[in-house]
Amino acid sequence: MATSTEAGPWDAAYTQLREWDPEWAELCSRMATNPWRSGVLAPKFVELVSLAINGACTNLNADGMRRHIRAALAAGATRVEVLTILKMAAVMSIHSCSLGAPILLEEAKAAGKQAAPRPEGATPACDRMKAIGQWNSAWDPFFALDPTWTDEFMATGAAIYTSGTFTAKDVELLSIAFDASFTHMYAPGTRRHIRNALAAGASIEEIMEVLKLCTAQGVQALNLGVPILAEELARKEAGN
């Protein structure tokens, strides 16, 4: 009997895949749906992590987002929880600055150039994060370049992460999913959030389940490509 794909990362493409290659389809399906069957993470949280991976600004898989939003709601997720995941997916774009700002400073120094002086202004959000030990030194370069904008961004992010929608442990597990996803692979963030997750009480097994969910996302290549292949084969057979 084929593995059920009612829960997991698959869409209707799995039916065609089974027709073409039933043995491999079964193997792949068992691997990809393992986090849904293992019981390590609650079903609702599995769907929320999957939504995070699909909704990440480095992925933006609309079909996957709809599938996992529907499944998360069916598993008891609230509108606030789902919306919080989408907010988290949006602000991961800060890694453009985490990556680019240090390079900009290094190359500007090599070129003998300096940024124009900026008027000093209050940065309450940044100050608050520093005071509670939540400041990341990777943010120092873009804070130096534009402290006002950095404070605006940090205020936006802090409103998400301090909302209390998720526990500290769950926030870190979700953050691992964003950073470790194969469309991002942001190593500094992955390490930081794994460290924080362990400190917040996450087990090694729970963190591994998140990484497995990131890996399961690979079947999107099949969800996207199998229907296209079927269409093109039909077109060729029709002589078009």
Structure tokens at 129: 């994060």
Domain residue limits, the chain: 1-77+168-240, 94-105+118-166
- pLDDT value at position 105? 95
Q: How far apart are CA 90 and CA 123, in angstroms?
A: 22
Which whole number is the average pLDDT over 114-125?
A: 88
pLDDT at 93 over 80: yes
Question: Among the CATH numbers 1.10.10.10, 1.10.3720.10, 3.40.50.1000, 1.20.1290.10, which is that of 1-77+168-240?
Answer: 1.20.1290.10
What are the tens digits of pLDDT across the range 196-234? Answer: 999 999 999 999 999 999 999 999 999 999 999 999 999
Q: What backbone phi and psi angles, to 5 degrees, belong to 40?
A: -70, -45
Residue type, 39: G
Q: How far apart are CA 149 and CA 141, in angstroms?
A: 12
Q: Please, which pLDDT band fits residue 6 given cuts at 50, 70 and 90?
A: low
What are the tens digits of pLDDT across the range 120-148? Answer: 889 999 998 888 777 889 999 999 999 99
